Structure 1
Amino acid sequence: MKNDFGDIPFSPQMLQSLLREMGDGAIAIDALGHIIWINNNYHKMLGIPKGIDPRGRDIEELIPESRLKEVVRTGNSILIDIMNFDDQQFVVSRFPLKDSAGVVAGAIGFVLFDKVGPLAPLMKKFEILGKRLSLAEQKLAQARQAKYSVASIINRSPKIDKVKEQTRAVAQHDSPVLLRGETGTGKELFAHAIHNASARRSGPFVALNVAAIPEALLEAEFFGVAPGAYTGASDRQPEGKLALARHGTLFLDEVGDMPLALQAKLLRVLEEKEFEPVGSNIIQPVDVRIVAATSLDLESMVKKGTFRRDFYYRLNVLKIDIPPLRQRIEDVPVLCDYFLEEFAQRASEPLRLMADSGVQHLMRYDWPGNVRELRNAIERACVLSKAQVLGADAFEEILPADDVSSPSKAPYQEPGMDAADNLPLQIAQLERRAIGDALRICAGHKGKAAKRLGISRSQLYDKLKLYDLS
């Protein structure tokens, strides 16, 4: 049936009935955004003089804040909205108009209220929800900030001082960083420190443990999913980690566990600075710095073909090796003090102290789990022991007896000297014990022991002679 709406298939009687139910004002446009119909009430509400017919004009010429063109473009209704017109505010609804083939041929808008007063209760609820959303977004943004700086790293060892210097140096560049170290050495702590010392410190810090996510979900976790990419995918898919880390740092922990196929895709991100969400053909630019960490031997994995050579070289631009705790055993006392204070604050208990016997017991242990294991040992001792001062007995049942050196392997001390008042002597004692432990672990093989200690073979021979070790 032909009518004022051209080929749009509905009768005038149906429209009039709808208008009576929906509100006082109504206006309709065609697919080009031209006004094709307006009722008398809306004609008056807009202040259009009598005798002037607005049909044929662009809707936005008459109503600059109209969103009817958006409805035509998207085909989606806008059920409720507040529209400003001069000094008035209208509460409006907008709907697409489709022809018999289902193609959007125009749009129609209704004025539900010519004042926002009737919506005051609803507006109040929206205001409260808006504040809650804003607060949640602020908390989420804070959660994505790096928590630690270089100053947060507790140490006494010169080896960690050197790593701190490297951390400050690499933070001034934007190249990828590869953190190498055994599990529990604090690689994520150094990743936080790199971010906080860089020009990206005001951006987000997003961490992703590659080993903790099923392989089938890793790609979506990295790149995000386009709406409708697969059955069940909603129109509001969460963004991938690359998008969340925009203008900031993406920390990839346990990168050695990344599947080969995903390595190839992430290589493109590193080289081309762009990516495509899963199920999308739209390329998105990405501005993010990659900091990766691993406890695996990536060089051996490259030789075996289980880690891509090109991806390894692209990640390994700036490398930082974090020494294990057994190679910086002098850090044990200061770390103990820090963990005791942390536990006391968290548990709201009095601060515990370490006896000399307790410190010596911990310093004779090999610490295969490194700083993380030390932290757990301190916490367990605080929970299980009622003593205010923790001695060796507080840790005897916590640490495996086979991994703690016997008293006969106590720190070396020359006769007549008091180690407690002589810092160089204390360092020498620690060094002698570390060398003895390395030789014991390596079954007397001096080359392996030197590599384990992080020194050359000639340096090891010099120290063996100095400390009268065989």
Structure 2
Amino acid sequence: MGIIVVDSRDKLIFISSWIKDILDRNKNVTESGIEEKISSFEQQGSSGYREGVLKLGDRKYKCRQFCPEKKFFSESQQEKRYIKSITVLDKFTEADFHAKTAFQSELETLITSEEVDKLKEQLKKLQKVFNNAYEALVIVDPDGYITDFNNAYEECLGLEAEEVKGRHVTEVIDNTRLHLIAESGDAEIGHLQNIQGEEMITSRIPLKEDGELIGVAGKILFEDAREVKALAQRLEVVENELDEYKNELKRRQEAKYTFSSIITRNERMEYLKEIAENCASSNSTVLINGESGTGKEMFAHAIHSGGARKYGSFVRVNCAAIPENLLESELFGYEEGAFTGARETGKPGKFELADGGSIFLDEITSMPLEMQAKILRVLQEREIQRVGGTERKKIDTRVIAATNEDVESLVAEGKFRQDLYYRLNVIRLQIPPLRKRKEDISILSDHILTELSEKLNEDRHELSPRALELLENYDWPGNVRELYNFLERAVNLSSGKMIEPEHLPDILTSSAGIDDTYGTGTTDAEKKAGAKTEQTEDFKTDDLESEDAVKIKKENLDLSKLVRRTEKRCIRQALAAAGGNKTEAARILGIHRNTLYNKLDKFGIQD
């Protein structure tokens, strides 16, 4: 059946889908034409209930019309609006009419149907959301009369919704343009509007159904325009911080060195640089051998920077620094709930982070055999599986590995997998120690002193001929890293721009007037400068038994300081004895390797 509802202004407020179909099929039938026919039809019968015929297009339809009790749905000072009539059309012109009671029963069934109940429930929910919205919202009909006014707008204007509903919006809101938007149909977003003396940011949005305007929604975005400026400032701060984090993350995942960073005049080193440069553009695995401090990581950085992968990430992993029970999840990542304490979102591993770039596995020989087997599978299949996951993910990552141990001996002893060794040993770089390339000490020292002047913000220092001679005669168990540390110490101790033998540690000379009673390498220069170093605060235990013990300063009796200094001294000596090999140094000290790493970080010792 067809249903037509008109209001007290003889305007259509509802037509059923069947009536809409008639309008679509008959271009000569319009809504305004229906309004005229309904108005004239009403005059043909008595009040309350009427029957008649309504012509739409080429057909006539028998109708029943019900005029309900007046119930105002819009009230203003200008007029009151209510439902004037409900007209029901039969689809067939020959259909029989029922009595008034039958029609009323049918109408009640229609109104109380399950579908209508659901719509009413949804309407209640929407009304609740509307009233409790944070933003101040108002809705007007196509003529500019307020139909809805939420709680936030009530608080903003100090008016009750019931006071303003049915009134024209220009009577309620200062400088409003909602009625003008109803005429133009064009939205206005983020406009300034002065309401009750305050500059507010507002938006006005036309509401349309089937292309026809049914109302306009107004929203106050900010009750004070100054809030926008403050928000913009906070947003700018957040964006700047985000950029800093992004840059730091990018810096951490980028290679820091290139082949020009490798300073040498040694023939063997030049040959290794040439090999590394030639293989930089390939995807082959590289194994770098060399003592601690020879520059293995610098070669890894340069290989990454010298090829097409330089635009990808360069991820560094110190295999010896990660506990065995965490190594797999660090390298391959994990899924949600993989273990107690795992992130809800899971976490990508180092291999995933290096996808499209390179991963540098330093001290790979410290990796347990079980993990070696998994690394072998990654190299063979070029795919990884997260801990706790079931899916395998393809990766495109170049592997560069390094070690300061004799890999062949470890393979022979069964401590390193032979098949993994063959997979890694595609391109082999054996970095010579500094003692076998003494000709590099001069240019390396020159480069390091230039770098230190920038780092320490001091004038550039020079090495005296005697100081350089001492450096060239030393065996350098710690290699270039040890040279860097010695020169940084000398720069800090020298009062002028020239580094002399007395500014160098006692390990280099015994003729520079250095007091090494406590094995600390304290120099005469330190004493002359009055440097309050840890070493000069030490004292002999015999002093405690002498008559002058009471004269010792209280701070020299601080046990925690004494223990700290002793620990640092022992760690340095163990590292020197082990040639920089931390695993061996930990064995000498009788502590676990991870404990040694923690103490290195704690004391700020650069190995």
Partner of 2:361: 252
| 1:20–1:155 CA distance, 2 compared to 1 (3 A) | closer
Partner of 1:372: 481
| Contact 1:215-1:259 within 8 A present in 2 as well | yes
- Separation in 2, partners of 1:42, 1:293: 73
Partner of 2:425: 316
Partner of 1:188: 297
TM-score normalised over the length of structure 2: 0.48
| 1:354–1:239 CA distance, 2 compared to 1 (3 A) | same
| 1:282–1:5 CA distance, 2 compared to 1 (3 A) | farther
- Separation in 1, partners of 2:418, 2:221: 64
- Separation in 1, partners of 2:435, 2:450: 23
Residue 328 of structure 2 is aligned to residue 216 of structure 1 = no
SS at match of 1:329: coil
- 1:248 Cα deviation from its structure 2 partner: 0.7
Matches within 5 A, 1:129-208: 129-208=238-317
| Contact 1:89-1:116 within 8 A present in 2 as well | no
1:424-468 alpha-carbon deviations (Å, 9 max, x no partner): xxxxxxxxxxxxxxxxxxxxxxxxxxxxxxxxxxxxxxxxxxxxx
Cα root mean square deviation, aligned: 3.5
Partner of 2:52: none
| Contact 2:486-2:505 within 8 A present in 1 as well | no
Matches within 5 A, 1:28-427: 125=234, 128-395=237-504, 397-399=506-508
Partner of 2:68: none
Partner of 2:543: none
| Contact 1:180-1:293 within 8 A present in 2 as well | yes
- Separation in 2, partners of 1:325, 1:222: 32
Q: Match for 1:140: what amino acid?
A: L
Q: Match for 1:270: what amino acid?
A: L
1:40-77 alpha-carbon deviations (Å, 9 max, x no partner): x8999xxxxxxxxxxxxxxxxxxxxxxxxxxxxxxxxx
SS at match of 2:343: coil
- Structure index of larger Rg: 2
- Separation in 2, partners of 1:321, 1:43: 83
- Separation in 1, partners of 2:368, 2:117: 58
Counting aligned pairs with the same residue, the percent is 39
Q: Match for 2:445: what amino acid?
A: C
- Separation in 2, partners of 1:159, 1:385: 34
- Separation in 1, partners of 2:421, 2:141: 69
- 1:134 Cα deviation from its structure 2 partner: 3.9
Q: Match for 1:153: what amino acid?
A: I
| Contact 2:470-2:508 within 8 A present in 1 as well | no
Q: Match for 2:310: what amino acid?
A: R
| Contact 2:335-2:347 within 8 A present in 1 as well | no
- Separation in 2, partners of 1:380, 1:24: 63
- 1:21 Cα deviation from its structure 2 partner: 4.2
Q: Match for 1:291: what amino acid?
A: I
SS at match of 1:334: helix
- What are structure 2's unaligned runs of at least 5 residues? 1-112, 143-185, 191-216, 512-607
Q: Match for 1:197: what amino acid?
A: G
- Separation in 1, partners of 2:404, 2:125: 70
SS at match of 1:293: strand
